[in-house]
Structure 1
């Protein structure tokens, strides 16, 4: 028996209880049941699920009888997780088909983070945005200039880290764009779970606790990739905050997910042109919202060192990135990430480069820079909010 390959889109994370180590398997698209937790005893078996290794290979490596009870238990385990949908094969294919059919039948994109990151109840959500995030709600259409004659931001970088980790960072950022007269928000964010296409643009309205946000008509959708938006939080967090910020505005969105494939030859220029054309064709005044965090470091993200050991170097690297961004020097920003081979996992890299190639703003202003230090996993995430005129 050849061991089926573990599906590429299954997420793996470590979990420790006392002195016992576990591996958690989670399918963000909901194809597989779960999540499920596996004991450390099964790590090597799961690693062998590559579509090439056989049960006989495992028996030989372990020095046990290929027909013995140890291998029979392994075979039973493999069949169980295959039936649950975690391994490639007919079971996963059938499950995926059902999930995709259900997804494509929905009239709107459902909330994935409700009642986890923010409340789904409209009144509770409004209270959360007002009291916890500190967003000042704006009624009606804003003037094209501020009271002091200044123009509102044209582009903003806002994190997509959990609201509860950085509430006031979100509040200050959304308050900074509140004076914009925009009737279209081009939301360009990181694709965490999909990598098959450079860009995936949603076609359906986004549900929020305060009602749906419509999407402008466009010809950018890739139907088979639309499910990339199903589990994605990077645009959802911005969408729900926007609906609270501008509750009665004639507002539409263009939700764009970006993968690292955007850096393949010709992709950046092609997609920047296509997105600009869609925005211009809408006839709406647009503000561009980038959804991205900065560094992801520590054991949780694959580093051998703990976050506190890496943070001094990370802060220096982040300063270079932020300096380039404030100058609206997208090439210098891209090279700064590329020079380090993205060793700090800048998850806002791709959407930032795409957005700043679509809409070339003037100089920017740093609102906040902060760190989420996750003591439990000895890992950390850095993030910043920036606005450009």
Structure 2
């Protein structure tokens, strides 16, 4: 009798468990199906205007797959950051994603956007070569830190540029004894953010280590900063072209190139065999971070900004393209695991001028071309 009762209780328990499991499975399947239907119903296609250095990131199938899981498809068109802020109709796009905070501030005001997102940032560096770094070290302008990265004294470098120094004039310059001017090459300041950030740095240094913020500051620095761009000759409108020349044509074409840290880090991560080449990054002292700020124009653009800033998988993928991000790890930790070392923190960092004063400097230089 006891055995029969125990068997009945056991069968009842199994029946209840089966019914409960079926209910749980049905509910889980229903919720999952509802979530999938909700994502499908909310699926959007967002059209964005971006700086050229972010195009490979948005073309990456892994990035597209993560966005697709959130019901988002992104199509992008590239342009110079100043052009993004000045030359396009925001109504034709869902977001603008220039490479600098001043251009983004102008874009935000023009588009009357209520909020912005800053998922990526990268410091301005000088892409150079070991023989060039060694010449500058012999002349007291470059120093090596922690035995793996270089710092360049920007005031001393700009002083050489102002004097019209030639590489052959420098001490121990046999490795690059040319008549080429000691003058960093940049993109076109009239259209490109990297050149605008170089202008921000140079104007700070040549304004007595003060950010330009008045007409008297502007009048003081313009005769000093304008030649840094006017003397270069032809300049490209975005950062991708000059960096390709740097890689392909070497030291003779570009002994010192104003670039983004992200460009070199991305290249080394994708071409590990080149990590031990003569390519080096020189971190200007002072330097500044170029902040990649997404300005949403529509709810679809806002979703893209939220995802880029908050999704851990997208942050990791951005770091693979050399960008620093928020989150628990910022980029250098990931790069170091792959043999690409960069300083985790930079101390001597300034902010660029406000959009108003940076734009005034650019317009004044534009008028002198």
After TM superposition, the score normalised by the length of structure 2 is 0.28
Q: Highest relative contact order (Cα 8 Å, sep 6+), 1 or 2? A: 2
Report the TM-score, using the length of structure 1 for normalisation: 0.27
Which of the two has greater helix per residue? 2
